[in-house]
Amino acid sequence: MLQIDNLHAEIDGKPILKGLSLTVNAGEVHAIMGPNGAGKSTLGYVLGGRDAYEVTDGSVSFDGEDLLEMDAHERAAAGLFLGFQYPVEIPGVSNLQFLREALNSQRRARGQEPLSGGDFLKLARAQASALGMDAEMLKRPVNVGFSGGEKKRNEMVQMGILDPRLAVLDETDSGLDIDALRIVGDGINRIMRAPDKAVVLITHYQRLLDYVRPDFVHVLADGRIVRSGGAELAADLEREGYGAIAA
Amino acid sequence: MEAWRWADLAALEAGRATPRGEAAAIDGLWIEGDGPRLVFEDGVFRPGLSNPCEVVVEAITPETAHPLGAATAGTGWRLSLEAERAVTGVQIVHVATGGENHVPGLIELGRDAVASVVETFVGTGWTNRLTTIRLAEGARLMRSVRLLQSSGFVSIREEAEIGQAASLASLFLGAGGASSRIDGELIVTGDGGFAEMGGALLTRGEQRHECAVTVRHAALDGSSRQIWRAVAADRSVASLAARVDVVRGAQKTDGEQSLRGLLLQRTATVNLKPELEIFADDVKCAHGATVGELDARALFYLQSRGIPEGSAKAILTRAFVADAIDRIGEDAVREAFAADAEAWLAAAL
């Protein structure tokens, strides 16, 4: 589904990714772990299509299409979802208005009919409720005044509504307390654990992996993947630290 | 003179030099409602297109020292309401075909009277207006003005006296192609009076919008709001000078002033000049002035969810001006103004 080959990327002339390769097949959950500054968030932004990051070498294909040739909104319409480490606050734009516009933009791009107001509301309420978010929060401006945990929960509600095929989730566990972690973990499993879907879970700590069991764990250090293994690798990392494993 | 620092009188002259032509269609400009309707074409009242009801068309001699305002002397319109009367949904359409036109307006509301007036400007040429407002104790006026002239220049002067516990809200939307100058002097003369003047000015191309407003608190317990949003694209210039004066003894005044500018391109300019002059010691006057660009992080966030760049910019810009437009109390009027802003955004982004 996702094929990353020898990816090099930089920001402001500073190289961050230095030859990263990764293959993600449908039905798989991959965890990308690594120390601060390894390039984890850069990987998310490059896959999401943020302008500020420049790809200097390598290729990324998504379902056989050249992902790097697509604009950010086209990547979303193609089925990619980027979960943000720091979801952005947007005053004056309600969650509902934002998500309906997003979903219908994606549907139009795929040649589908836009969803009516009533059908959309039903979908949004169901997803909010499944993630333990008060339906009233859907009416509030996007992420404004939300706690760190509420913002992450809102990311998952968005993922549930947009129903992507590939989710790249950047530090979705940060800012969550234990209860929220379980709800978010259950959400990822419910929305994304399917034979035709895949997840790239970017995380610093192992704790989310107790709820979302990865099929593969990769260690990212200094811009490339230095080690790959099964779920047990995450436990090794937790026990021994990145220094020992990445060396 | 400081109030004229950003004035673009050359645009006014150019507007005046536009030859007269055909009048633009106005049918689509009426907002739903059965209130009085008046049409002025090149400053001349058109009875056949109007149904003025309580509004009287007559000669008015302005009592103003303002140079543009004084030039409006002649036939104009007057809405005078006795105590406790209410006339809402007054709509006045000013259609200009070129040259210059001047119309004075007068609104006098008796004790506890209520009125709402919407004015719409379309066409081209130099259009000049003075509106004089006098509100007696407890009177309430909601005035909404939309500037939709496609080219030329529109100058509007508003002078208001706001009596005890009376309330005036004057909200402007600039969403056309003409340059404009909005001048205001609102004086709160009675205790507990409320004065508001604000709005959204959207400019693009070579357009210039400027606005110089003073709210003067001359009584106790008054409150006022000046909430202005300017959005400037291309090489356009939007300038806002807003001033609050609190005279000696006008204690417990509560003034709020918020001036914000959004640059859609770096070639555009927004000038903001908030001013406070306070001669009383027990007052609250919050003020803020900021100019910026669309937040790149917010833009990417919207795009990453599937919204194309143009729509994402429109959503964020709409949210930026919403603070100002949402202050219009009547739903149909607010929706009409929002639709005009929307049309402007669709064309500019």
Task: Read off the pLDDT of residues A7-25 as tens digits, 9 standing for 90 and up.
Answer: 999 999 999 999 999 999 9
- Report d(CA A64, CA A26) in Å as an integer: 13
- What pLDDT band is residue B204 in, cutting at 50, 70 and 90? very high
Q: Is the pLDDT of residue B229 over 80?
A: yes
- Closest chain B residue to the Cα of A89, Cα to Cα: B298
Residue A71 CA neighbour count, 13 Å, CB half? 15
pLDDT of A31:
94
Q: Is the pLDDT of residue B340 over 80?
A: yes
pLDDT of B135:
98
Q: Which residues of A touch B325 (CB under 8 A)?
A: none
Interface of B with A (CB under 8 A): 295-298, 300-309, 311-312, 315-316, 318-320, 322-323
Q: Is the pLDDT of residue B269 over 90?
A: yes
Q: Which residues of A touch B308 (CB under 8 A)?
A: 71, 73, 105
Chain B closest-CA separation from residue A161 CA (Å)? 11
CA angle B318, B320, B325 (to 5 degrees): 75
pLDDT of B11:
80
Q: Is the pLDDT of residue A204 over 90?
A: no
Q: Is the pLDDT of residue B272 over 80?
A: yes
Q: Do A72 and B298 touch (CB under 8 A)?
A: no
**Which ranges constitute the DSSP H helices of A170-226?**
178-192
**Which ranges constitute the DSSP H helices of chain B?**
9-16, 67-70, 296-304, 309-325, 331-348
CA angle B294, B300, A175 (to 5 degrees): 110
- What pLDDT band is residue B6 in, cutting at 50, 70 and 90? low
pLDDT of B226:
96
Instruction: Give the percent of chain A with pLDDT over 90.
Output: 70
Give whole-number Cα distances, A6 to A24, A60, A199, A225, in Å: 15, 9, 20, 10
Give whole-number Cα distances, B151 to B14, B94, B180, B197, in Å: 10, 14, 10, 24
- B117-169, pLDDT tens digit by residue? 999 999 999 999 999 999 999 999 999 999 999 999 999 999 999 999 999 99
- Closest chain A residue to the Cα of B319, Cα to Cα: A92
As for the ipTM of the complex, it is 0.95
Q: Is the pLDDT of residue B3 over 70?
A: no
Q: What is the mean pLDDT of residues A189-211?
A: 91
pLDDT of A245:
66
Q: Does A84 touch chain B (CB under 8 A)?
A: yes
- A123-154, pLDDT tens digit by residue? 999 999 998 898 889 999 999 999 888 899 99
A148-157, A166-175, B179-188: range with highest mean pLDDT: B179-188
Q: How far apart are the first and last CA of chain B?
A: 36
| Residue position matching structure tokens 């059908």 | A119
Instruction: Give the percent of chain A with pLDDT over 70.
Output: 99
Residue B148 CA neighbour count, 13 Å, CB half? 25
Q: Which two tokens stand for residue A153?
A: 């929960």
What residue type is assigned to position A43 of the chain?
L
Specify burial of residue B88 (Cβ count, 10 A radius: 0-12, 13-18, 19+). middle
| Residue of B302, B325, B327 to mutate for A, most A C-beta atoms under 10 A | B302
- Report d(CA B293, CA B233) in Å as an integer: 11
Q: Do B309 and A71 touch (CB under 8 A)?
A: yes
- B52-91, pLDDT tens digit by residue? 999 999 999 989 999 899 999 999 999 999 999 999 999 9
- Report d(CA B270, CA B205) in Å as an integer: 14
Q: Which of A72, A90, A99 sits opposite B304 (nearest CB)?
A: A72
Q: Tell me what the pLDDT averaged over chain A comes to.
A: 91
How does DSSP classify residue B27? G
Q: Which two tokens stand for residue A142?
A: 């996007």
Q: Is the pLDDT of residue B1 over 70?
A: no
Q: Which two tokens stand for residue B163?
A: 């009596």
CA angle A56, A62, A67 (to 5 degrees): 40
For residues A76, A81, A82 and A86, what is the CA-based torsion angle, rounded to 10 degrees? 110
| Residue position matching structure tokens 């409320």 | B194
User: With DSSP H G I counted as helix, E B as strand and the rest as coil, what are the percentages for chain B, rounded to 5?
Assistant: 20, 50, 30
Q: Are B220 and B188 in contact (CB under 8 A)?
A: no
